[in-house]
């Protein structure tokens, strides 16, 4: 494929989450920022991708414009993983990870969308001869910081058919309230987002074991300290999950052998190419993958397609918030805890022009 043109579309979509504003970040989070990338080939095939943009949408867009797209527009791409590595090599002076690779992720995902459309198959079919038609999903709740509130939201998602619930709670009383509310048939996990000190982790992990948490995510900082994570898992017998803030297979090679669940994020790790490579490396080590995917751009569709193609990708993360609009109104959502993989050619993502026009932000 030869890439004729690239267009970046910046979106800001308001959402509600029912919380009192106790968020994961110091500032309140009220809008989904999206750095949407549209690539068009010389023969007019369109591919969509997005780069991670949570509180960094301007930086991701600048990286696309200034660093990445000059290597993409006009390029002839035959082998997408090889082209991805070429971009990584050419741009490594800007720092291998973070914003640089978020921007490369958008390009890689759009290229795979094009490749699957050219083959006239869903991406999962391009990646596997035996893709799964549907994937189990879990509800990923925001941090409420209030035991009664988080228990009520848990009961709600369980009533809707979810069998696994992920919290972003860090306090023991909130986690205890959920375990009591969820009942014995529901698996509970919590994402600490690195908020515990190592001392706190040593106090909390026995409690997590006692309550039978399915995994504890990023318990301590830094989340790429494979030795510490592995030691916590081994000492307390509770599965540790980490990886949403790591990039490329190179970084994942350190944590995969140490922890039960690895968590590549398509919009952060380097797109579909790196996510597939990470799933395969995890499979070779006998590990399952719990991808990070809590936003609703093309990366959501790409995650589903990769998961459909890789049987060790266990649970899809469905972020339990209510956006004012979805970029593609046909977004597949979990029903009774299962989410159907789109069977349109490519990722299956097709943005609604009216939504793009309404939520577009210039600059």
Binding site for Mg ion (CB under 5 A): 191, 244
Question: Closest approach of Cβ 292 to Mg ion, in Å?
Answer: 6
Question: Closest approach of Cβ 226 to Mg ion, in Å?
Answer: 17
The residue among 11 and 241 lying less far from Mg ion, judged by its C-beta, is 241
The residue among 50 and 244 lying less far from Mg ion, judged by its C-beta, is 244
Query: Which residues face 50 on adjacent strands?
Result: 36
Residue ranges in the chain assigned as alpha helix (H): 57-62, 80-90, 99-119, 123-127, 147-159, 172-182, 198-211, 226-236, 248-255, 266-269, 271-284, 298-309, 353-359
Q: Token pair for residue 295? A: 């936003």
The residue among 191 and 224 lying less far from Mg ion, judged by its C-beta, is 191
* Phi and psi, residue 326, nearest 5°: -100, 140
Question: Closest approach of Cβ 120 to Mg ion, in Å?
Answer: 35
Q: Token pair for residue 22? A: 């106790």
Question: Closest approach of Cβ 150 to Mg ion, in Å?
Answer: 16
Question: Closest approach of Cβ 25 to Mg ion, in Å?
Answer: 13
d(CA 57, CA 24): 17
The residue among 67 and 278 lying less far from Mg ion, judged by its C-beta, is 278
Question: Closest approach of Cβ 103 to Mg ion, in Å?
Answer: 21
CB nearest Mg ion: which residue? 191
The residue among 113 and 218 lying less far from Mg ion, judged by its C-beta, is 218
Residues 6+ apart with CB under 8 A from 195: 170
Question: Closest approach of Cβ 294 to Mg ion, in Å?
Answer: 7
d(CA 170, CA 168): 7
Question: Closest approach of Cβ 66 to Mg ion, in Å?
Answer: 29
Q: Token pair for residue 54? A: 């949570």
Question: Closest approach of Cβ 241 to Mg ion, in Å?
Answer: 8
> Considering Cα of 32, then 300, then 170, then 259, what sign does the dihedral take?
negative
d(CA 27, CA 60): 19
d(CA 330, CA 143): 28
Q: What is the CA radius of gyration of the chain?
A: 20
Question: Closest approach of Cβ 140 to Mg ion, in Å?
Answer: 8
The residue among 50 and 191 lying less far from Mg ion, judged by its C-beta, is 191
The residue among 6 and 226 lying less far from Mg ion, judged by its C-beta, is 226
Report the alpha-carbon angle 169-174-176, nearest 5. 120
3-state SS, one letter per residue, for 273-335: HHHHHHHHHHHHCCCEECCECCCCCHHHHHHHHHHHHCCCECCEEEECCEECCCCCCCCCCCE
The residue among 33 and 244 lying less far from Mg ion, judged by its C-beta, is 244
Q: Helix axis angle, 271-284 relative to 80-90, nearest 10°? A: 110
Q: Token pair for residue 159? A: 């009533």
- Quickly count: other Cβ atoms within 10 Å of residue 149's Cβ: 17
The residue among 244 and 328 lying less far from Mg ion, judged by its C-beta, is 244
The residue among 191 and 251 lying less far from Mg ion, judged by its C-beta, is 191
């Amino acid at each position: 494929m030869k890439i004729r043109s690239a267009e970046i579309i910046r979106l800001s979509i308001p959402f509600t989450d029912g919380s009192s504003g106790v968020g994961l970040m110091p500032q309140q989070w009220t809008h989904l920022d999206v750095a949407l990338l549209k690539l068009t080939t010389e023969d007019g095939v369109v591919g969509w991708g997005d780069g991670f943009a949570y509180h960094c949408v301007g930086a991701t867009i600048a990286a696309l414009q200034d660093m990445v797209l000059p290597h993409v527009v006009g390029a002839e791409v035959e082998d997408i993983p090889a082209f991805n590595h070429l971009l990584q090599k050419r741009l490594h002076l800007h720092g291998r990870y973070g914003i640089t690779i978020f921007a490369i992720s958008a390009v890689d995902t759009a290229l795979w969308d094009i490749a699957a459309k050219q083959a006239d198959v869903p991406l999962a079919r391009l990646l596997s001869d035996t893709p799964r038609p549907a994937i189990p999903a879990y509800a990923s709740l925001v941090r409420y910081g209030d035991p009664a509130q988080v228990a009520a939201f848990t009961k709600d998602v369980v009533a809707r058919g979810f069998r696994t619930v992920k919290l972003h709670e860090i306090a023991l009383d909130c986690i205890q309230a959920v375990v009591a509310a969820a009942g014995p048939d529901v698996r509970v996990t919590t994402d600490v987002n690195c908020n515990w000190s190592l001392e706190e982790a040593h106090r909390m992990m026995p409690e997590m074991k006692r309550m039978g948490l399915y995994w504890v995510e990023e318990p301590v900082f830094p989340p790429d300290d494979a030795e510490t994570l592995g030691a916590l898992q081994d000492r307390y017998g509770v599965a540790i999950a980490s990886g949403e803030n790591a990039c490329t297979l190179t970084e994942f090679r350190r944590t995969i052998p140490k922890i039960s669940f690895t968590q590549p994020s398509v919009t952060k790790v380097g797109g579909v190419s790196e996510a597939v490579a990470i799933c395969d490396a995890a499979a070779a080590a006998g590990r399952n993958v719990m991808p990070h995917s809590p936003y609703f751009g093309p990366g959501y569709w790409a995650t589903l397609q990769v998961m459909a193609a890789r049987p060790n990708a266990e649970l899809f993360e469905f972020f339990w918030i209510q956006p004012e609009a979805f970029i593609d109104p046909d977004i597949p959502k979990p029903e009774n805890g299962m989410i159907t993989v789109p069977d349109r050619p490519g990722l299956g993502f097709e943005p609604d022009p009216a939504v793009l026009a309404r939520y577009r932000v210039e600059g």
